[in-house]
Amino acid sequence: MADLDRIERERMLAQLRELGGLAAGPPPAPASASAEPAPAPKLTPREQRRLTAHIERVAAFKAEHGRLPSAAPTAPTGERTLGAWLWRQRRAREGGSLHPHAEELLERALGLHWHLSPRKAQALEQRGGE
């Protein structure tokens, strides 16, 4: 029975490869774990300008208010806009899709705890940055 399942799976995979325009045969071998990851593509000048502008606005907010902006529905509109942008950067970081250069700039401008919620980041900074 197990051999039938294996044969059926191989037949279905071959059909899928054919339909997808892939050559029949075993799937390509995964890249070796020891291979270094490809370097991240460079940010375009437009992406760099937009990133820098957002970071500057969030840094100015932090300097003025002593905390990171919140995306909470009760936050004022300007703060909520900045908080929502920062929230998206946090999610991108968690998902592994945040550009390394963006992460470096955020850390330099906002501190080591920028990726935490505003409340957690403020608590850690008040305790000395543990």
Q: Is residue 78 a part of any domain in this protein?
A: yes
Instruction: Decide if pLDDT at 24 tops 80.
Output: no
Residue 118 lies in a domain: yes
Residues 25-81 pLDDT 10s: 555 555 555 566 667 788 899 999 999 999 999 999 999 998 899 999 999 999 999
pTM for this entry: 0.63
Looking at the 3D structure of the chain, how many domains does it have? 1
pLDDT digits (tens, 9 = 90+) for 77-90: 999 999 999 999 99
Instruction: Please tell me the predicted confidence (pLDDT) of residue 106.
Output: 93
Angle between helices 100-110 and 77-95 (to 10 degrees): 130
16 found inside a domain: no
Establish if 40 belongs to a structural domain. Answer: no
Residue 16 has pLDDT above 70, yes or no: no
Q: Which domain holds residue 55?
A: 45-126
Question: Cα separation of 20 and 18, whole Å?
Answer: 5
Q: Which residues of 102-123 are buried (b: 16+ CB within 10 A; e: fewer)?
A: beebbeebbbebbbbbbeebbe
Residue 95 forms part of a structural domain = yes
